Amino acid sequence: MNPEPSQLQCAACEEPEPPFILTVIKDNVFRRLCADCLLKEHRGLFCPVCLDVYVAPPPPDAVNICLLCSSTTHLNCSSSSSDDHFFTCPPCLDPNFSFFPKSLDNDGSGTVLDLQKAKALVAAAEIAVASAKNAAAQLEEEAVNKSIESKDAKEKAKEALEYLEDVKDKASGKKINPRKRKNSDR
C-alpha cells in the first residue's frame, strides 16, 4: 500500500518540496501540484509563450494549435510562419522544458523570481483559482439540488403518513372527515 503523499509533495512529479504547491480540483478530486506540473497538465488554458491565461477559449482563427497536445498560442506569440495555424509548444518541443523551476535560489545568488518565472507562477495560480471556483459552483448546484430533493421527500413522507392515518382510521371504523384534520398534518 502506498503511503499518502506529503502535503508539500507534487502529486505529478513527486518533487518532495517544490517552492510553490497549488491545489486544483477536477471531478471532485483535490490534487496538489507544483507550478510547473500544473501548467503542463492544463496547457489548453493559457498561452505557453506569453503565459496569459485564457478567460474564455479564444476563437480558433485567433490562435495556433500545438500539433502534439491541446496547447494554443496567440498568433502574434507563435514563431510559426505558416498560415495553417499549427505550431509545436515548448513542452512538446523539448521534453526537459520547464515553465517553472522545481527549486529556487540553489546558487545562493538571491535572484529568486525573474519576470518569466513570476508570469508562470501567476498563470498557475489563476488556473488553480479558476479550478476552485468551478468546483465551488458545482458543489453549490449540487447542494441546491439536494435541498430540493429533500424538500420533495419530506412532502412525500408527510403525504404517506396522512394516508397511513386514513387507512388506520378506516380499518378501525372511524369516519374520515378531511376538514377536521389537525393543522400539524397539513
Residue ranges per domain, the chain? Answer: 21-103+113-129
Q: Is the pTM of this model over 0.75?
A: no
Give the separation between CA 143 and CA 95, rounded to whole angstroms.
Answer: 43
Per-residue buried b or exposed e for 36-70, using 16+ beta carbons within 10 Å of the residue's own CB: bbbbbebbebbbbbebbbbeeeeeeeebbbbeeee
52, 75 contact by CB (below 8 A): no
pLDDT at 29: 85
Q: pLDDT value at position 81?
A: 61
Per-residue pLDDT of the chain (186 residues; tens, 9 = 90+): 344 555 788 998 988 888 889 999 877 788 999 999 999 999 999 999 999 999 888 888 888 999 999 899 988 887 766 667 788 899 999 989 999 887 766 555 555 778 899 999 999 999 999 999 988 998 899 999 999 999 999 999 999 998 998 888 888 877 666 655 555 555
Name the phi and psi angles at 163, rounded to 5: -65, -40
> Chain centroid to CA 34: how far?
16
Integer Cα distance of 117 and 98 in angstroms: 10
* pLDDT of res. 1: 38
Specify the pLDDT at position 174.
Answer: 74
